[in-house]
Amino acid sequence: MITYESFFILILISILGPVVGVFILIFYTSHERQVYVLEMQNQQISLEKELEISRYLQLNQQIQPHFFFNALNSLLGLIRLKQYDRLYESFEHMAVYLRSKYTAKEPLYPLEKEVSYTESYLEIQKLRFGHRLTINWEIEKGLEQAMVIPYLLQTLVENAFKHGLEMIEEQAELLIKINSLEDGRIQMIVADNGPGFPDEIASVPGEQKVGLQNIRRRLGLLFANEAVMTAKTAPGKQGAVVQVIWPKVTIVENGGEHL
Region of 210 (left: φ > 0; alpha: ψ -120 to 50; beta: rest) is alpha
For 61-258, CATH gives: 3.30.565.10
User: Which residues lie closer than 8 Å to 31 by C-beta, 6 or more apart?
Assistant: none
Q: pTM for the full model?
A: 0.69
DSSP track, 16-56: HHHHHHHHHHHHHHHHHHHHHHHHHHHHHHHHHHHHHHHHH
Each residue's pLDDT tens digit, 67-102: 667 777 777 777 787 877 877 787 787 777 777 766
| Confidence (pLDDT) at 221 | 83
More confident position, 118 or 61 = 118
Task: Give the closest residue to 178 by CA, choosing from 144, 149, 207.
Answer: 144
Domain edges within the chain: 1-60, 61-258
Q: Which residue did the predictor score with more confidence, 69 or 46?
A: 69
- The per-residue pLDDT of the chain, averaged, comes to 76
- Spell out the alpha helix ranges (H) of the chain: 4-60, 65-80, 84-103, 111-129, 152-163, 199-203, 210-223
Look at 236 and 110; give whichever has higher pLDDT: 110
Out of 100-104, 127-131, 226-230, the most confident range is: 226-230
